Amino acid sequence: MHTNSRLFSRLGSSPLLIVTVVFTLLAFTVQASAQKIITYDVPGAGTAPGQGTFAANVNDWGLVTGWYTESTGSTHGYIRYPDGRFASFDAPDAIGGTLGVFPNNAGEIEGIYYDSAFIMHGFIRSPRGAITEFDFPNSPQGTFAQAFNDAGVVTGTGWDANGLGHGFVRYRDGNFTEFDPPDLETGCSGAFNFSCGTWPLSINSKGAITGYSVTSNGAATGFVRAADGTITELEPGPGYWINNRGEVAGVYSLDNNTVTRSYLRDPEGRLTEYSVPGGAPTWGWSVNESSVVTGWWWDTNNNVSHGFVRTPDGRITKFDAPGAVQGTTPENINDAGIISGEYIDANNVTHGFIRLPEPPAPREDGTLQP
């Protein structure tokens, strides 16, 4: 669950990335002429710069969650149902805003809310609208609920009294487990500091977690934490998403962090490196069960982001939401191939979008591929 929009870029600085070189996979770009993108705005969303509808993730049956900012500056969570209906919600103790982050396939939603001191707390919303608030124990500087699976297990980060972030797992019964990869940097401080601590980013249905931590040498090192607590370091760099097969979508940097490339790591640890043709900085953010990756690439000429989809055969399709002027940012891709994301228009107002999967290409005999 991903959320740079990414929740990173909206709420803190971008994660540091380490330098490593694996192997190159040739890819080609496909024009996105057959795509269908639906744009939307939550009723009541503000239309001033910095306001609007912010999309987070989509579950496998098309339910999207996120948040919207009103003209008054108030922020509320929302649900967009597959038929286009909306529902807004707020955590009971939310004073500074409510953000929906991740919907699971049971229709539950996890997210965060801010109290009057602008400290973050986690919550889970049931399909009927009941909201359970929670905090990771011993995290006086805040609890960031980042990702959620179908078993109702949450992972995220909690900040201790020194401002250091620690990873946690919250089980459905309300119990927590704290974890940190080896060599975590402990000398940094400051609440909600993305440049230090442990940052779980995704959890699959088996309870495996991927993310990154800042090690003692200052590098952001990716990891996979198995359900039994075993932690494996990811050599290429931060892992952003882990699917139920154990594939990890992640990134690493070249040339002193000035050029970012992406990787797909299979369950055996084999790596496929790729980037949008032309060497543009590329962030592969989410991978579904069919090994289709979505993410965004950075246009260094115009300083805006654009979306892409990468299929298992290496084809890369670029796309932008209609009306996007200042950037298109996919958040995740579900198992049906639906992509949830957001874009920013010419007036710096944010809107949500859903990109539907392209129809299969016909065979030479005219019949459709499965």
Query: Looking at 68-77, 92-101, 272-281, 334-343, which range is the least confident one?
Result: 272-281
Percent of the chain exceeding pLDDT 70 equals: 81
Please tell me the predicted confidence (pLDDT) of residue 192.
52
Full strand arrangement of the beta sheet holding 304-310: 29-30, 316-319, 304-310, 293-299, 282-287
Which residue type occupies 150?
D
**275-278 LR contacts (CB < 8 Å, sep 24+):** 276/29, 276/308, 276/316, 276/318, 277/27, 277/28, 277/29, 277/316
Q: What pLDDT band is residue 160 in, cutting at 50, 70 and 90?
A: confident
DSSP 162-223: TS-EEEEEE-TTS-EEEE--TTB--S---SS-TTSSEEEEEE-TTS-EEEEEEBTTS-EEEE
Please tell me the predicted confidence (pLDDT) of residue 216.
62
Q: Which pair of tokens denotes residue 221?
A: 């090192």
**What is the distance between the alpha carbons of residues 238 and 52, in angstroms, rounded to a whole number?**
30
Is residue 113 predicted with pLDDT exceeding 90? yes
Helix (H) or strand (E) holding 67, with range, is: strand 64-69
Please tell me the predicted confidence (pLDDT) of residue 183.
73
CATH of 7-356, one of 2.130.10.10, 3.30.1120.10, 3.30.429.10, 2.40.30.10: 2.130.10.10
3-state helix, strand, coil in the chain (%, to 5): 0, 45, 55
**CA-based end-to-end distance of the chain:** 29
Helix (H) or strand (E) holding 9, with range, is: helix 7-11
Is residue 200 predicted with pLDDT exceeding 70? yes
Residue 59's Cβ-side half-sphere holds a number of Cα atoms within 13 Å equal to 23
Query: Looking at 34-38, 179-183, 300-304, 337-341, which range is the least confident one?
Result: 34-38
Contact yes or no for 332/317 (Cβ under 8 A): no
Check residue 24 and report its DSSP letter. B
**What is the distance between the alpha carbons of residues 119 and 96, in angstroms, rounded to a whole number?**
9
User: CA angle, 210 as apex, 156 and 128 as ends, to 5°?
Assistant: 45
**What is the distance between the alpha carbons of residues 155 and 147, in angstroms, rounded to a whole number?**
5
Residue 19's Cβ-side half-sphere holds a number of Cα atoms within 13 Å equal to 8
Q: Tokens 């297990």 label which residue?
A: 153
More confident residue, 26 or 37: 37
Query: Looking at 83-92, 210-219, 276-285, 333-342, which range is the least confident one?
Result: 210-219
Q: Which pair of tokens denotes residue 192?
A: 């909600």
Tens of pLDDT along 42-69? 999 999 999 999 999 999 999 999 999 9
Tens of pLDDT along 266-300? 999 999 999 998 878 999 999 999 999 999 999 98
Please tell me the predicted confidence (pLDDT) of residue 2.
39
What are the backbone dihedrals phi and psi of residue 7, each rounded to the nearest 5 degrees, phi first?
A: -60, -25
**What is the distance between the alpha carbons of residues 125 and 236, in angstroms, rounded to a whole number?**
35
**What is the distance between the alpha carbons of residues 274 and 26, in angstroms, rounded to a whole number?**
7
Please tell me the predicted confidence (pLDDT) of residue 6.
46
Nearest to 327 by CA among 302, 310, 357: 302
> Mean pLDDT, to the nearest integer, of 102-109?
97
Is residue 349 predicted with pLDDT exceeding 90? yes
More confident residue, 259 or 252: 252
Helix (H) or strand (E) holding 283, with range, is: strand 282-287
| DSSP reduced 3-state for 275 | coil
Please tell me the predicted confidence (pLDDT) of residue 15.
31
Q: What pLDDT band is residue 344 in, cutting at 50, 70 and 90?
A: very high
Pick from 175-184, 199-208, 357-366 the range whose average pLDDT is largest. Answer: 199-208
Which residue type occupies 284?
G
Q: For residue 331, is it left (φ>0), alpha (ψ between -120 and 50) or beta?
A: alpha
> Mean pLDDT, to the nearest integer, of 84-107?
97
Q: Tokens 């889970």 label which residue?
A: 124
